[in-house]
Amino acid sequence: MSQDNEPHTQITIAEQDVIAQGFTETGQKQFCDTVVDYGNTLLKRSCDYADLEKANNMEREVTHTHVKNAAHSLTINNINKTSHWRVLAHVAEYLVATGLGVGASNLNEIWGIILFGICVITLSILVATRLSGRNKNV
């Protein structure tokens, strides 16, 4: 919930409309909580955008542009969220690919063959995992 010094808004959701759409009890709660959280975040971000543009001696004026920009930034933030694990796995792909190259350059040595084999298997798993979760925000 929001703190006392943060802006907040009251949102009324027609419960009968949500029920009529087939929401379960837990679905209704999650929907309502999400709408309220989004509304509060949108309100705060809209005010933040307005504060950036106002003069020090003037009152805040939140325009439609501030609200539109705030809504857009919330949407972009959710779309572009990338898991830290995904970034780490991608870096690991580059490191393993380097190991693969070193192993391939030394295939006349036993350690080169072992390194090459381990890197081929590891890189295959990393790439397959990344590609299988491409449309997920994991």
**pLDDT 10s digits, 113-129:** 999 999 999 999 988 88
Is the domain of 24 the same as that of 44?
Answer: yes
Is the domain of 72 the same as that of 90?
Answer: no
DSSP letter for each residue of 77-124: HHHS---HHHHHHHHHHHHHHHHHHHHHHTTTSHHHHHHHHHHHHHHH
Q: Is residue 123 part of a domain?
A: yes
Is the domain of 73 the same as that of 117?
Answer: no
Which of 9, 78, 81, 79 has its CA nearest to residue 44? 9
> What percentage of the chain has pLDDT greater than the value 90?
29
Overall number of domains in the chain: 2
pLDDT beyond 60 at 39: yes
Is the domain of 122 the same as that of 104?
Answer: yes
Q: Is residue 68 part of a domain?
A: yes
Give the domain extent around 127: 84-132
Q: Is residue 26 part of a domain?
A: yes
Domain boundary among 63, 79, 95: 79
Contact yes or no for 97/127 (Cβ under 8 A):
no
Q: Is residue 137 part of a domain?
A: no
Is the domain of 73 the same as that of 88?
Answer: no
* Predicted TM-score (pTM) of this structure: 0.51
pLDDT value of position 101: 94
Is the domain of 71 the same as that of 127?
Answer: no
